[in-house]
A and B are shown apart, each in its own frame.
Chain A
Amino acid sequence: MYRSPDMAKVFIYPATSLILSDLVARFGHTPLSSATAIRERIQTAGLESPPLQITPEEPKKGLKWAAVEVPAGVRGRMSLYGPMIGECDAAIIVNDADLAFGCMGCARTNELVKFLLHQKDIPKLELNYPANEEGGVKFVAAIKRFLTDLGASK
């Protein structure tokens, strides 16, 4: 995709969110989602490691973000999210996303992803999903305002 200089890379949390991915792209920026990280792996030749082509190399790469005693599941996942957190210019975080639940691997990775985003000195927007139509208006307006300001500051 062509990226104009005023387009920012925006990390979305949950990283699989359809709503956030769409709104970021709709308002002129690039969403960093787990799909792009997975696509990179499944389009790269190497050793067969279904279903996600996460090879034994990924937990090693994950050592950059989590210590060796942290379960391999967290480190493997961090090898997907870590580079994106490193390159993002901004982040939109939805805090009450029920879809971002999971086993210890997912849950701890989610905690670590949020922690790393909060540590990073970038513009961040913290939200909850809307529960009604008026909430929807506020939700979309907040995201539009955030992304417009982001474009202006780039």
Chain B
Amino acid sequence: MTGYNPAHVGTVTKYVVVESFDVTPADLALRAYEISQGVMIKETCFGIVMNGKEEEVDRIVAELRMLDPDHIFIKDRGFPPGDPRRCRANLGGARPGYNAMELEMTLIPYISHGLEELKNRNENSIPAPENPLEHKTLDINKLKKLIDVQES
């Protein structure tokens, strides 16, 4: 076994994912470059990846979110951009973890819609979603309907 000397110690990496009609990843990258000081920025197909000191990354992330608050989503990443252990330039195919993000990208329009709606509606006036752990009993009327359909 060989020794391991980590790079970018003490930094954080964040994904900024955009799913918007008005803002593109290129817009995000341009805005991030304008306001960044010593932060590594990489433009991707879904947004940007940023690596740098935590305070600086948080400041830029807050600024970028203002471009389109309901359509920009941010999460942490463990590896810095272009890390040979993760970057598809070295591995080929989709980056590990991209498939999960791709699946959630299909749901993001619903989340964006929810965030937009909540600007005009109080969250307490909106009914709670179904609890997935609740095992509902079959409603008697529904059972009757099922029997009627079977018999007809």
Residue numbers of A with Cβ under 8 A of B are: 1, 14, 16-19, 21-23, 25, 31, 33-39, 41-53, 95-96, 98-99, 126-133, 135-142, 144-145, 148
- 0/1 interface trace, chain B 60-98, chain A, CB 8 Å (1 if under): 000000000000011111110001011000000000110
Complex contacts, B45 vs chain A, CB 8 Å = none
CB pair A22 B113 closer than 8 Å: no
Contacts of B110 in A (CB 8 A): 130-133, 135-136, 139
7 A-B pairs besides A19-B111, A48-B4, A139-B114 with CB distance below 8 A are: A35-B75, A46-B4, A95-B133, A133-B109, A135-B129, A137-B121, A141-B126
Q: Which residues of B contact A95 (CB under 8 A)?
A: 132-133
A18 to B101, CA, bound (A): 7
CB<8 Å pairs between A and B, sample of 24: A1-B58, A18-B104, A19-B104, A19-B107, A19-B108, A21-B76, A39-B77, A39-B79, A42-B6, A46-B3, A47-B2, A48-B2, A52-B78, A99-B100, A126-B131, A127-B132, A128-B129, A131-B110, A133-B114, A136-B110, A137-B114, A137-B117, A137-B118, A140-B117
Q: Which residue of A lies closest to B54 (CB)?
A: A1
Tell me the complex Cα distance, A95–B77, Å. 23
The CA-CA distance from A55 to B107 in the complex, in Å, is: 35
**CB contact list, B109-147 vs A, under 8 A:** 109-115, 117-118, 121, 123-124, 126-133
The B interface, classified by DSSP as helix, strand, loop or mixed, is mixed
- CB nearest to B69 among chain A residues: A26
B residues in contact with A129, CB < 8 Å: 107
Interface size class of B (residues with CB under 8 A): 35 or more
B89 to chain A, nearest CB (A): 15
Q: Which B residues are in CB contact (< 8 Å) with A21?
A: 74-76
C-alpha spacing A132/B12, complex, angstroms: 34
Which residues in B have some Cβ–Cβ distance to A below 8 Å? 1-6, 8-13, 15, 17, 54, 58, 73-79, 83, 85-86, 96-97, 99-101, 103-104, 107-115, 117-118, 121, 123-124, 126-133
B104 touches A17 (CB 8 A): yes
Residues in A with CB closer than 8 Å to B83 are 42
- For B129, the chain A residues whose CB sits under 8 A away are 127-128, 130, 135, 138-139, 142
Query: From A80, which residue of chain B is reached at the shortest CB distance?
Result: B78
Given A39-B12, A129-B107, do A144 and B132 touch, yes or no (CB 8 Å)? no
Q: In the complex, what residues of A have CB within 8 A of residue B124's CB?
A: 145
